[in-house]
Amino acid sequence: MSLVTTRLAAAHDRPAIDRLLREAGNFSEEECIIGLEIVDVYLGEGPTSGVNGDYPTVVAEREGRVVGYATFGHTPMTEGTWHLYFIASDVTIRRAGIGRVLCQAIRDVAMALGGKRLVLETSGRELYGGTRAFYDATGFKDEGRIEDYYSPGDPVVYYVWRW
């Protein structure tokens, strides 16, 4: 299998990130719009914002092609808590380690900046079963849920990766 590398996103990655969101298979139109909006916040802050700015975004590349991305960042008003806001890998090359490489890259950044944990929210719906299996397999623990959070019958599930 060819090597997957990560780097901070740049303006020219925007169309690839838009495609990753739209082809992911489980994001609603609203989620696709918001996912790209927060990437735009990051890109709009310019190249100096880096991992300390709002919504740092990384892309994963394989053979020169963007095959995944994630937006994360330090959670305001916390000591050592970081958030994973969005993650998606190319729908045509799932289960090839791209998601794992992205999470590890984020963990490395957070750890280097004093982070102690990475937190995320996801849906408890059946549609997200594969996504939750991914978090279970990459070091996250399910630490609770709120029923009917997103809509009736659609709970939020909180995952935490501590190191």
Ligand X SMILES: CC(C)(COP(=O)(O)OP(=O)(O)OC[C@H]1O[C@@H](n2cnc3c(N)ncnc32)[C@H](O)[C@@H]1OP(=O)(O)O)[C@@H](O)C(=O)NCCC(=O)NCCS
Which chain residues interact with ligand X by CB under 6 A?
24-26, 87-89, 94-100, 122, 130-131, 133-134, 137-138
User: How far apart are CB 92 and ligand X at their closest, in Å?
Assistant: 11
Closer of 45 and 94 to ligand X (Cβ): 94
User: How far apart are CB 81 and ligand X at their closest, in Å?
Assistant: 17
Closer of 95 and 141 to ligand X (Cβ): 95
User: How far apart are CB 20 and ligand X at their closest, in Å?
Assistant: 7
Q: What's the CA gap between 39 and 49, in Å, rounded?
A: 12
Residue appearing with tokens 């029923």? 147
Give how far the C-alpha of residue 61 lies from the chain's centroid of Cα atoms, to the nearest Å. 15
User: How far apart are CB 161 and ligand X at their closest, in Å?
Assistant: 13
Closer of 48 and 92 to ligand X (Cβ): 92
Burial (0-12, 13-18, 19+ Cβ within 10 Å), 51: middle
Closer of 74 and 100 to ligand X (Cβ): 100
Helix spans in 45-157 (H): 98-112, 129-137
Closer of 24 and 36 to ligand X (Cβ): 24
Q: Is 155 helix (H, G, I), strand (E, B) or coil?
A: strand
Q: Which residues contact 97 (CB under 8 A, 6 or more apart)?
A: 1, 4
CB atoms near residue 112 (< 10 Å): 9
Q: What's the CA gap between 110 and 104, in Å, rounded?
A: 10
User: How far apart are CB 127 and ligand X at their closest, in Å?
Assistant: 9
